[in-house]
Chain A
């Protein structure tokens, strides 16, 4: 919300209703515009021999985590580089935090961290030297440096590797060091190009955890990845890129208040299932198939627990009851199939 001064409040008293509604609308509009951190309009990017982005437009709100997916060569890396102001766009505009990337790239760089797909590390330096260099080069005041570095390496789990040569690290550890470097200067926007590649399952889980935490701390993230199942864990939005075009940009979680699609499965088919579900007023769109049933459910998770109890109480052998998210994988495959047709 926009802070309202006492003076403004006083002036608002006695205004007509119409005026007041208009005022509210305008401020809400402003607030919305302010929460848009990345705005891209008709972005075109040409390589010498290929048009990699053909008129991309989208907006990204502050505090969101957007998963950027698409087949190889779709233009994900190119898009992230354009957002970071590393490549000069052929036409169109990109603004980050309301700063035009083409006009003031240096300003944008300060607000932005980028993990490149090829990492860009100095093999001959030690991990400690790399981090110290990064901190100094990105203008972190010297009194904060050690604290920031400590914080980053703890989060990435590389604290015991400080004196190793970067060139001697494994692929996964290099990846973690690169992520630690990218977030060292606490950017407003963090762009990560395939951060999970090369990480072991535990490190991946940790990474998901870290990215979620960064999101809740208010950082806005854009993460390109081919591992959809993992993106699902922490992203709030998904953007599908294909042949240099955005073919889908949507929230990954259903907004609160909308019905959720649930799936219940019994151990064996039972006629009681349909009756029992149909009796619940919060259930609609029922679709029974053998021992399982799918339906839209308007209640919250407490209501869901209540439903489960009533199913069990009526003697049904319930194996599972779970939310059936339209998984990213299914949206993705759907889109890809749709495009081919």
Chain B
């Protein structure tokens, strides 16, 4: 048996727990039955599965690696002969074994009830696995930082997991359309969602496996992350409903609109990575050293996650621009609006990334992420609201990327801001390198 799984079973499923779980569940079911007959019996089972697998399970999965780091056992594990795959499923299923054990009882309760929706049950179980895999993956990302408050990282991993799962659960459980329009295909909703869930679980487990491979020093990076970025950009661009959503961007054809949506998706992923991933200056320094020495592949595992996302975004942005320029009718003037929009989105991203690092470098005592959160809310919510309530809506392109508005107002201010932000961060980085023990690389 997988030793890691065995150890987790010892910890998670001692005899008293094996007795206590069904005892408690039977009581809950009994109460549900007293309250409202068999409909709420199935409802209680669903609710309990969601509670056990998603809410509690994501916490346990987030703790699986973080608890090892906190308990100083992680290094022993890293030195052991355990392989990354053994580690992946040993931790994923092992750390949540108690929850899965409880879910088995809930499934039995569910099947006993005449009103249970079987598809919903499968979907719920898959969602549980998704949440756990995502929490484990996020915890692996979070241990890359130099945070002292590892306990807090568990909460972060769980919160982010639930934030990602919440809209998904909402759309699959409550607000269910009949079909999904995706790349022009009309796909039955249930089939689409179940397939999506399987793919999502696949990606998260693969991601966790690759992270563990790197943590166990089997490899120095893999193309998995890049492949995921390309996949998810293409996946999101497929939703036909989004076409009307970005119609105001004024892209010339539906195909270019898809490219633009993919570009936006990559940008959103860049931001998500930049906010969630710990901004470790040591890793950044090592990565830059290798990068500027021309050893890009050796440094791959050190590169921040946003970097690949930004590269994908830039490629998609360039493709969009090339298409906009290439598709115009002969002799027609350049469609400046869409071009300016793509440029502005990229410049806003560069500006914000530079500012994030500036804030992290500046607030070395930590709390960088909090400041970043405040900054994002102020820059993209408070200021625009103030501006529009002051009847200065025409100046909005200065604050957010805008499809309408004079191109110079769309591009020039943010270009200056981006240059200033990059300049600031380079200066700050130089000052930090002067204090640090080793010379910073790349002449920065």
Contacts and interface: CB of A to CB of B under 8 A. Distances in A.
A137 B77 contact: yes
Interface of A: 44, 46-51, 81, 84-86, 90, 105-106, 109-110, 112, 114, 116, 118-125, 129, 133-134, 136-139, 181
A138 B438 contact: no
Most buried by A among B71, B146, B436, B437: B437
Contact of B436 (A49, A84, A116, A181): A49
Interface string B78-122: 111110000000000000000000000000000000000000000
Interface of B: 3-4, 6-7, 10-11, 71-82, 146, 216-218, 281-282, 286, 436-438
B80 A119 contact: no
A337 B77 CA distance: 41
B75 A105 contact: no
A36 to B, nearest CB: 22
B17 to A, nearest CB: 12
B7 A125 contact: yes
Contact of B146 (A48, A110, A134): A48
Contacts of A105: 217
B77 A86 contact: no
A120 B78 contact: no
Contacts of B218: 106
Contacts of A137: 3-4, 77, 80-82
Contacts of B436: 46, 48-49
A133 B80 CA distance: 10
Contacts of B76: 114, 116, 120, 134, 181
A118 B72 contact: yes
Given A48-B281, A106-B216, A137-B3, A120 B72 contact: yes
Nearest to A115: B76
B437 A50 contact: yes
Contact of A122 (B7, B75, B146): B7
Given A114-B79, A125-B10, A119 B72 contact: yes
A129 B6 CA distance: 10
A133 B3 contact: yes
B237 to A, nearest CB: 38
Contacts of A51: 437-438
Given A106-B216, A116-B72, A122-B71, A90 B79 contact: no
Contact of B71 (A49, A85, A120): A120
Nearest to B78: A86
Contacts of A116: 72, 75-76
